[in-house]
Amino acid sequence: MPIEIKVAPPGITISQGRTFMVTNSSGEINPQTDEGVFAIDTRFISYYHLFINRIPWVLVNSSQLSFYASRTYLTNPKISTEDGDIAENTIGLTLERTIEGGVHEDFYVTNYTGKKISVTLELALRSDFADLFEVKSKRLVNRGRMLSAWDTQERRLRTSYDNKDFHRAVTYAIPSPGVPVGFANGRIFFELELEPGQEWQACGELIFEHGQQVMEPVYGHRTSEELVEPHSELDELQERWLRSSPKLLTPNEHVYRAYRQAIEDMGALRIYDLDVSEEEWVPAAGVPWFVTLFGRDSLIISLQNMSVSTGFARGALKGGPPAVSSKWCRPSLGCVPMPPTSDSTSIQLCPSGFRKSYCGICVLVLARSPCTSGVRESALAGKW
């Protein structure tokens, strides 16, 4: 029987810890896809598009600079203004993103027309706060209430979602001082007047609320050179991991590059907030869609990396479920905490089904327990 091989459409994925962003090649997000900005298993941004005078920008090129940073080059189509037409490919927009906690964006608009121009840069954002598995299954259930509000003084757009005691919110803030900004017709906009050859710059930040937890961007405005240089504590931990990993000496450049990339990719799997110590980590099941602790996958990853580092194995074995069972239980999907067992672990009931829930204990034990009538009862047989 022939095997069907599917190739995903071109796009860009950046991640850091439990936050990741999946976009198309233009750096934009379409709601009919599984693209978006995700944090703690929730899609906070489901639609993201940029416009110039209400017309979409045109992609020139884009690339991932590192696992947590990207750069996108866009140009204008032919547009009409009060001062006459502006020819296509005469205005450039560079979008640089870094991700850690929240998302930081830098916009650079450059005038190559040879004359003074007045244009409007627009950003349209929408949120659905869908669960990660709902996005992947493309079966979105409408529940809870959402509210959006633009704060003129604070220069920020906040959208909140509440469903009983389940709370999420996302804020898009404009921290750039002295940059006029407004909001109308569902879009954040900047009115630009540029002299020939002039460059305009502004910043935007995505801030996430997960219950009482607020996740703000660690990175602020950075130059192009700083995008690939260590800047935060997590950058330093990644650099330390690269320095401490065994070095491979080989005359085969392809083997060397493959090994080097594998080392960098393993660092991207690190779940920093579950670190046991600086040398003992807990690996995620995968990036981007499974940036969480799956017992089977985390143990397999640890076993496969024993020849390079034992830190993953020690971290996976020590990072036990008592520390994560309640934190990652998903009450919005029906996960019901049960009384503790005699060994201080927790039993969880997931009425919504195993694969659609993100209950920490259920994820850790995977398929060890049978599933009947759509309800999975899971418990650890012993301590880690």
The per-residue pLDDT for range 44-67, each reduced to its tens digit, is: 999 999 999 999 999 999 998 888
Among 18, 71, 56, 13, residue whose Cα is nearest residue 358: 18
Domain boundaries, position 16: 11-222
Biggest CA pair distance of the chain: 77
Least confident of 73-77, 90-94, 221-225, 303-307: 221-225
Q: What is the mean pLDDT of residues 177-205?
A: 95
Please tell me whether residues 84 and 192 are part of one structural domain: yes
pLDDT of residue 264: 81
Q: DSSP H helical segments within the chain, as ranges?
A: 132-137, 233-244, 253-268, 295-304, 311-318, 360-365
Q: How many helices, marked H, and strands, marked E, lie in the chain? A: 6, 25
* Residue 2 placed within a domain: no
Q: For the chain, what is the mean pLDDT?
A: 78
Range 312-322 average pLDDT = 68
115/211: higher pLDDT: 115
d(CA 8, CA 23): 12
Integer-rounded Cα Rg, in Å, for the chain is 23
Q: Is 228 part of a structural domain of the chain?
A: no
Do residues 148 and 43 both lie within one domain? yes
Residue 272 has pLDDT above 50, yes or no: yes
- Chain segment 356-372, per-residue pLDDT in tens: 333 333 333 333 333 33
What confidence score (pLDDT) does residue 330 get? 46
CA dihedral 149→150→152→156, nearest 10 degrees, is 110
Which pair of structure tokens corresponds to residue 6? 């599917």
* Rounded average pLDDT over 295-317: 79
Q: For 283-295, how does the pLDDT look when each residue is reduced to its tens digit (9 = 90+)?
A: 777 776 677 677 6
Q: Is the pLDDT of residue 28 over 90?
A: yes
The answer, yes or no, to whether the previous bond of 288 is cis (omega within 30 of 0) is: yes
How many domains in the chain? 3
My answer on whether 102 and 248 are in the same domain is no
In a domain, 278, yes or no: yes
**What CATH code is carried by the domain that includes residue 76?**
2.70.98.40
Q: Does 280 share its domain with 358?
A: no
- Specify the pairing of strand 336-337 against strand 348-350: antiparallel
d(CA 374, CA 350): 8
Whether 218 and 241 map to the same domain: the answer is no
> How many residues appear in the chain?
384
Q: What's residue 196's pLDDT?
A: 96
Q: Is 176 a residue whose pLDDT tops 80? A: yes
pLDDT at 244: 80
Residue 269 confidence (pLDDT) above 70 = yes
Res. 304 pLDDT band, cuts 50 70 90: confident
Residue 5 confidence (pLDDT): 62
Enter the pTM of the model. Answer: 0.72
In a domain, 362, yes or no: yes
